[in-house]
Amino acid sequence: MRIQLLLANDDDAPGLVRLREAVNTRLVEKFGPGFWCMALTEHGALSAVRQAQVYVARHRGEIAATLALAARKPWAIDLSYFEPRLKPFYLTNMAVHPEFQRLGVGRETIHEARRIALTAGGDVIRLDAYDVPAGAGPFYAKCGFTEVARAEYRGAPLIYYEMLLNGSK
């Protein structure tokens, strides 16, 4: 399925909440409840859309996937584990609706995030993933991200990943 990421707007808040609820339900079914299930309220979704670069991919009017891509470092990423870069981008809050998982939508979403970061002059995309069975680390590795380090933040085990862009070294 070919997707295109577009910037989210206030009208997308309810759809972002529905997407997160569907993903959380699937995670609980498969792995049980845990810190990897992040609740999202409509107020929280509105706040994220207004403060960050939240992107969505739609299928028949519904949000099939989302992520945030920003030049500002998220709180859980410790830069001491990464080599300095001129223009890093940080991928957070990626989610693919369970109906579209294992169909290439996640890979397409990463491909689009890469395109967006390159267009903006980015030289690397960084992220963290939970280092638990419910974490998406293996997915990111399959998409071309390289593991940089393992760390813990507020009791949650994390794996830091990065993807160099446009031949940067």
Tens digit of each residue's pLDDT (9 = 90 or more) over 109-148: 999 999 999 999 999 999 999 999 999 999 999 999 999 9
- Cβ atoms within 10 A of the Cβ of 53, count? 20
pTM value is 0.93
Query: Domains plus CATH for the chain?
Result: 6-164 (3.40.630.30)
Residue with tokens 């099939």: 64
Rounded-to-integer distance, Cα 49 and Cα 78, Å: 24
Rounded-to-integer distance, Cα 99 and Cα 150, Å: 31
The pair of structure tokens assigned to 39 is 């609740």
Biggest CA pair distance of the chain: 43
